[in-house]
Amino acid sequence: MASKISSTSSGPVAKSLLGVRFLTVSAIAGALLAGMAMPFIGGLGLGAKAAADSFDSLPDDFKAPPLSQASSIYDSAGNLIATAYDRDRTVVAGDQIAPLMRKALVDIEDNRFYQHGAIDPKGIVRALGKNSAAGGTAQGASTLTQQYVKNVFVDEAGNDTAAVLEAQRQTMGRKLQEMRYAIDVEQTLTKDQILTNYLNITFFGEQAYGIEAASERYFSVHAKDLSLPQAALLAGLVQSPTSFDPIVHPQAAKDKRDIVLKKMAQYGSITQAQADQAIATPINTVVSRPQQGCITAKQGEGFFCDYVKNVVLADPAFGANAAERKALWNRGGLTIKTTLDPKAQDALNKGLADNADASDKPAAVMSMVQPGTGKILAMGQSRPYGLGTDQTQINLNAPQSMGGGLGFPTGSTFKPIVAAAALESGMTASQTYTTANSIPWPRMTDCNGGLYKAGQGPPVHNDSSASPVTFDMSGALAQSINTYFATLEGDVGLCAVDQMANKLGVTKQADGTPLHVVPTMTLGVNDLTPLTMASVYATFASHGTYCAPLAITSVTGPDGKNLPVPAQSCSPVISANTADTITAMLKGVVQDGGTASNVALGSRPIAGKTGTTDAAKQVWFVGYTPDVVGATVVSDTADQKPLQGQMFGGSRIQQAFGAQVAGPVWQAAMQGEVAGTPVNSFPDVSLPTPPAQSPPSTSPSAPPTP
């Protein structure tokens, strides 16, 4: 359907010509429009001159917005993830509509459509006679072209009830508008084009807009394959989709269908024998219920689908403001290609399913991203996408602004950010501190000059009763020593830690509120998402280049033209030496003596960090190979209770630590993702020899001070 239908000429001369043409019917219209639309106020009258003046005052151009239709979302391999739409419509060309359907509609709605112009004076006279005899509105006189114009305004009103009612009002002004624009349309389009547009825009009931969706809804066939009885039934629906709904009112639908068939025989579109045979045919619907939206996505892909929709609604690439972006999504007809890797998604699904049950109160949540590109490879949750029991439509991988939740405290997975700030400030991995099991917080100042005095708040402690021991940065990361990182944060500066977090994409909490820039920041008190943390660690894997999460690679509009999409946003934010040193230290976390020594991918090099929050309400493992990063969190999203003792994946959680609960989910998912891929290595970075004394015996990823 054309996006703009306008007069082929413009200006005063053209308006005058159109006005003169309109005078041939305006005298009738002036007296009769009121009689048709408001039969009891015909005495008000509308003279020919007044009608022509109103006619000439209307704008020159009639603009028909693109029809809303389905959008299709595909993964990176070209597989369909889901079909989503505001209105169930598929626009089809005229040759994709059964000729019998075209004839049926013309015969029941406007049998002289191909003989008269935009306005049918004979029809007006006929309607006036019947309406006068009936003392009301027994018959209308709108041509198919006028009805098409009205439907354009109704469709443009969208889901705005008030706007729809206004578009449907049968007033003199509205009738004049329809007449004026109908003339405009018939100057630009052929009769066949107008009929095709009409069939594509019209509502047929049961959420079906346009003839293709209606054919599939009621009969599970394409519009080009409609039989005579089917075509007649759909033509009868146009006048009242609710009253003649064959699913709800089959007898009324049959009666109306049979009227259409008799009209078709009367006007010679079919023979009487064909009409009789079709009338004898019972109503036989084969209903295909609407299947759309992210709830229909393939197994486990609903959350990513929802994220893609929110990107379209939020990213300025798709419109300068929220209204423009919403209009683009609602119009639909988009072909959206995404970054989702089906192999990674299948592996993530299996990792979740093998370790967690949908009915568990604790939910496992995981995102995978590609270092160096920001591409989101997979995204999922152990509690499926949906509206049923043990389902949710809240995407816990994403922030609230993108259809997500409130995030989770990150625990000790935040410590590498503090380490990166220290290295960038000139410190080295050999930085040592001799720390006790419990120490007071050091003095700190945030970027706004806010002062945290030494000893302010409860002391920071480790889960150990050992005497003071000396750690370097690598050993402190491997064993997640809280007191070390509290001291390090004090020396590097709270402001520097905040600035480093911002560079790594941590600019606000998942609910959109500012970060808590406080001493306990190093212990992970801010509520962040797995997608955010995966992007942070991807910066280390990509040698210091941060890439914002990327979900969409291309979008094609309904006209086949490519639309602008969010640009890949990558930039170096820390030095390669800092990033590679962090990776070298995080390799120690998964080696003997580290808090995640039980997590491995065979002989493939990995690095990562565990995290356990206050009272073990959340546990994390964020880990990576040189090629993919996965961030996993397990949390009781229902009651926010400690995980210790809760059922998870068919057994009770005995040790609520990142390595023991989140680690197996990460390991299972990543094993499937990297299977069959080349084994690449991290850069070879030499770390300093650790201090001579033996470290204390600590529990993995000791819980931080709240």
Q: For 661-699, what is the HEC assignment?
A: HHHHHHHHHHHHHHCCCCCCCCCCCCCCCCCCCCCCCCC
d(CA 138, CA 154): 23
d(CA 649, CA 632): 15
| pLDDT over 80 (residue 45) | no
Which domains are present in the chain?
A: 11-279 (1.10.3810.10), 408-674 (3.40.710.10)
| pLDDT over 60 (residue 52) | no
pLDDT score of 563: 96
Secondary-structure percent of the chain, ordered helix, strand, coil, rounded to 5: 45, 15, 40
Confidence of residue 163 (pLDDT cuts 50, 70, 90): low
| Owner of token pair 């991290």 | 682
Of 67-71, 464-468, 620-624, the least confident? 464-468
Q: What phi-psi label fits residue 430: left (phi over 0), alpha (psi between -120 and 50 degrees) or beta?
A: alpha
Give the pLDDT mean for 100-121.
91
User: b/e per residue, 215-243, with b = 16+ CB within 10 A?
Assistant: bbbbbebbbbebbbbbbbbbbbbbeebee
pLDDT score of 366: 97
| pLDDT over 60 (residue 457) | yes
Note the pTM of the prediction, 2 decimals. 0.75
pLDDT one-digit tens code per residue, 68-96: 788 999 999 999 999 887 677 888 999 99
Question: Would the CA dihedral through 303, 306, 308, 313 be positive or negative?
Answer: negative
If DSSP codes are grouped into helix, strand and coil, which group holds residue 170? Answer: coil
d(CA 435, CA 488): 11
| pLDDT over 60 (residue 18) | no
Q: For 523-551, what is the HEC assignment?
A: HCCCEECHHHHHHHHHHHHCCCEEECCEC
Q: Supply the mean pLDDT for the chain.
A: 85
pLDDT score of 21: 43
| pLDDT over 70 (residue 13) | no
| pLDDT over 70 (residue 616) | yes
Other CB atoms within 10 A of residue 646 CB = 17
**692/229: higher pLDDT:** 229
- Tell me if 700 sits within 8 A of 592, measured CB to CB: no
| pLDDT over 70 (residue 480) | yes
Backbone angles phi and psi of 71, in degrees to 5: -110, 150
The residues pairing with 622 across neighbouring beta strands, listed in sequence order, are: 609, 631
| Owner of token pair 């993530």 | 348
> 395-398 long-range contacts, Cβ below 8 Å, gap at least 24?
395/303, 395/306, 395/307, 396/363, 396/365, 396/529, 396/530, 396/637, 397/303, 397/307, 397/365, 397/366, 397/367, 397/529, 397/530, 397/531, 398/303, 398/307, 398/310, 398/529, 398/531
Q: How much of the chain, in percent, has pLDDT values that exceed 70?
A: 83
pLDDT one-digit tens code per residue, 647-657: 999 999 988 99
pLDDT score of 155: 78
Half-sphere exposure of 610 (CA within 13 A, CB side): 36
Question: Would the CA dihedral through 611, 400, 556, 348 be positive or negative?
Answer: positive
d(CA 79, CA 297): 11
- The residue type found at 13 is V
| pLDDT over 70 (residue 243) | yes
CA dihedral 114, 120, 126, 132 (to 10 degrees): 150
pLDDT one-digit tens code per residue, 430-442: 999 998 889 999 9
pLDDT score of 117: 86
**289/440: higher pLDDT:** 440
Query: Which DSSP symbol is given to 462?
Result: -
d(CA 528, CA 399): 8
pLDDT score of 388: 80
- Tell me if 484 sits within 8 A of 697, measured CB to CB: no
> 287-291 long-range contacts, Cβ below 8 Å, gap at least 24?
287/217, 287/218, 287/220, 287/247, 288/216, 288/217, 288/220, 289/217, 290/88, 290/206, 290/207, 290/208, 290/217, 291/83
d(CA 437, CA 699): 12
d(CA 89, CA 237): 16
Q: Which two tokens stand for residue 496?
A: 């520097």
| pLDDT over 70 (residue 483) | yes
pLDDT score of 462: 87
Give the pLDDT mean for 477-495.
95
d(CA 371, CA 373): 6
Query: Which DSSP symbol is given to 89?
Result: -
pLDDT one-digit tens code per residue, 112-156: 999 988 887 776 655 455 544 444 443 456 899 988 888 888 877
pLDDT score of 68: 77
| pLDDT over 90 (residue 369) | yes
Q: Using CB atoms within 10 A of its CB, is residue 546 exposed (0-12), middle (13-18) or buried (19+)? A: buried
pLDDT score of 61: 57
In angstroms, the first-to-last Cα distance of the chain is 60
pLDDT one-digit tens code per residue, 404-437: 999 999 999 999 999 999 999 999 999 999 988 8
Confidence of residue 602 (pLDDT cuts 50, 70, 90): very high
Give the pLDDT mean for 151-170.
71
Confidence of residue 16 (pLDDT cuts 50, 70, 90): very low
pLDDT score of 177: 75
pLDDT one-digit tens code per residue, 549-564: 999 999 999 889 999 9
* 168 CB-near residues (< 8 Å, 6+ apart): 150, 154
Cα–Cα separations (whole angstroms), residue 46 to 31, 32, 43, 50: 6, 9, 9, 6
The residues pairing with 363 across neighbouring beta strands, listed in sequence order, are: 635
d(CA 365, CA 251): 51
pLDDT score of 690: 82
d(CA 696, CA 668): 31
| pLDDT over 70 (residue 482) | yes
pLDDT one-digit tens code per residue, 535-546: 999 999 999 999
pLDDT score of 255: 96
Of 228-237, 348-357, 525-534, 646-655, the least confident? 646-655
pLDDT score of 63: 63
Give the pLDDT mean for 180-185.
85
| pLDDT over 50 (residue 449) | yes
CA angle 579, 477, 459 (to 5 degrees): 125
| pLDDT over 90 (residue 661) | yes
User: b/e per residue, 600-635, with b = 16+ CB within 10 A?
Assistant: bbeebebbbbbbbbbebbbbbbbbbbbbbbbbbbbb
d(CA 181, CA 168): 15
Of 321-335, 453-467, 586-600, the least confident? 453-467
d(CA 412, CA 509): 16
| Owner of token pair 């039989």 | 227
